[in-house]
């Protein structure tokens, strides 16, 4: 799933539940960083498509890079957009977004791609491959995005009403 927007569906659902404790921007940035290696393989034709970056060890190493760079890139992007509700990304939210982003990427891609070895170098198996059908995986991601988006806006409206009521 290189650079697929489907990875964002579960992220939107997590954002709806965790709200300000989770950075969706850093989560999305982590998705991109995870797929740089497969992109390079596609462009050059050299290497293993889902290699080291698509292992839990690789994800663990990519997450700090995603958190550190993503927090600053996200804050910069929010400043450029000049959103009145701009709240800088807090470090705990950046770290959580990065780790959930990289690990969820491994889970989703492990279901989809036969060549992933998520537990390498300890195991060459991929027990998640096709644990559900590809269609069901895509449907899950889309439904997660829809439910997450609706839930996010509902929670924000509820919190805004409570704030206005002085609760």
DSSP secondary structure, 47-91, as one string = S-TT-GGGSHHHHHHHHHHHHHHHHHHHHHHHHHHT-TT--PPPH
Residue 1 in any domain: the answer is no
Residue 107 in any domain: the answer is yes
pLDDT for position 102: 98
- Look up tokens 């292992």; give the residue: 55
Residue 46 in any domain: the answer is yes
pLDDT for position 167: 56
pLDDT for position 163: 80
pLDDT in tens, the chain (167 residues): 456 789 999 999 999 999 999 999 999 999 999 999 999 999 999 999 999 999 999 999 999 999 999 999 999 988 888 876 778 899 999 999 999 999 999 999 999 999 999 999 999 999 999 999 999 999 999 999 999 999 999 998 998 888 887 75
Domain that holds residue 137: 8-164
Query: What angle in degrees, to the nearest 10, is found between the helix axes of 24-34 and 91-112?
Result: 40
Residue 59 in any domain: the answer is yes
Count of the separate structural domains present in the chain: 1
Per the CB < 8 A criterion, the answer to whether 160 and 152 are in contact is no
Residue 2 in any domain: the answer is no
| Angle at 41 (CA atoms; ends 36, 46), nearest 5 degrees | 150
Beta strands in the chain (DSSP E): none
Cα 161 versus chain centre, distance: 30
pLDDT for position 1: 45
Residue 3 in any domain: the answer is no
Residue 90 in any domain: the answer is yes
Residue 113 in any domain: the answer is yes
Going from the C-alpha of 107 to that of each of 28, 84, 141, 153, the distances in angstroms are 15, 36, 12, 27
């Amino acid at each position: 799933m290189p650079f697929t927007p489907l990875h964002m569906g579960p992220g939107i659902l997590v954002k709806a539940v965790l709200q300000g404790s989770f950075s969706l921007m850093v989560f999305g940035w982590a998705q991109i960083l995870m797929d740089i290696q497969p992109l390079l393989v596609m462009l050059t034709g050299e290497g293993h498509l889902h290699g080291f970056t698509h292992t839990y060890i690789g994800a663990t190493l990519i997450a700090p890079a995603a958190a550190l760079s993503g927090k600053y890139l996200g804050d910069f992007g929010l400043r450029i957009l000049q959103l009145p509700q701009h709240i800088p990304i807090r470090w705990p939210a950046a770290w959580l977004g990065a780790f959930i982003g990289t690990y969820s990427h491994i889970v989703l891609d492990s279901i989809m791609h036969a060549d992933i070895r998520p537990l390498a170098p300890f195991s060459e198996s991929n027990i998640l491959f096709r644990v559900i059908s590809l269609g069901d995986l895509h449907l899950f991601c889309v439904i997660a995005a829809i439910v997450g988006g609706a839930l996010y806006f509902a929670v924000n409206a509820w919190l805004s009403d409570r704030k206005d009521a002085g609760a």
